[in-house]
Amino acid sequence: GQQVMQIPQYQHVQEGEDFTTYCNSSTTLSNIQWYKQRPGGHPVFLIQLVKSGEVKKQKRLTFQFGEAKKNSSLHITATQTTDVGTYFCAGLSTSGAGSYQLTFGKGTKLSVIP
């Protein structure tokens, strides 16, 4: 079945430093979604990337989708304590029968040291 690998598993940064998490899929994806889960909270949708090579920005967050639609990254510039949480990528693949499968990566837990 489809696998989505995400690294690193944990990242500790000083406030103000940058942070990047990477996702790689074993198969070509239809799209990739990113979610953030705060400690004790539930996943919250951040963004969806659909096109090959797509780059989207949300304030200090930059999301990229690879040319082959098999990899993606999330980069946070100048981290703040409010960025703390676990970031999940989730890759969407489709089957010939028209069904969809969204597979979550294992997540990257970000800690920000004030």
Partner 1 sequence: DTEVTQTPKHLVMGMTNKKSLKCEQHMGHRAMYWYKQKAKKPPELMFVYSYEKLSINESVPSRFSPECPNSSLLNLHLHALQPEDSALYLCASSQDMGYYEQYFGPGTRLTVT
Binding site for partner 1 (CB under 8 A): 30-31, 33, 35, 41-45, 48, 50, 88, 92, 94, 99-102, 104-107, 109
| Residue 32 beta carbon to partner 1: minimum distance, rounded to whole angstroms | 11
Minimum separation from the CB atom of position 31 to partner 1 (A):
6
The tokens for 15 are 């406030």
Pair 83, 109: CB distance under 8 Å: no
Instruction: Give the burial string for 80-91 (b: 16+ CB within 10 Å, else e).
Output: eeebebbbbbbb
Nearer to partner 1, 40 or 114 (CB): 40
Q: Which one, 33 or 79, has the nearer CB to partner 1?
A: 33
How many Å apart are CA 91 and CA 70, to the nearest integer?
Answer: 9
Collapsing DSSP states into helix, strand and coil, what is residue 53? Answer: coil
Q: Report in angstroms how near the CB of residue 78 gets to partner 1 at its nearest.
A: 26
Closest contact distance (angstroms) between CB of 61 and partner 1 is: 15
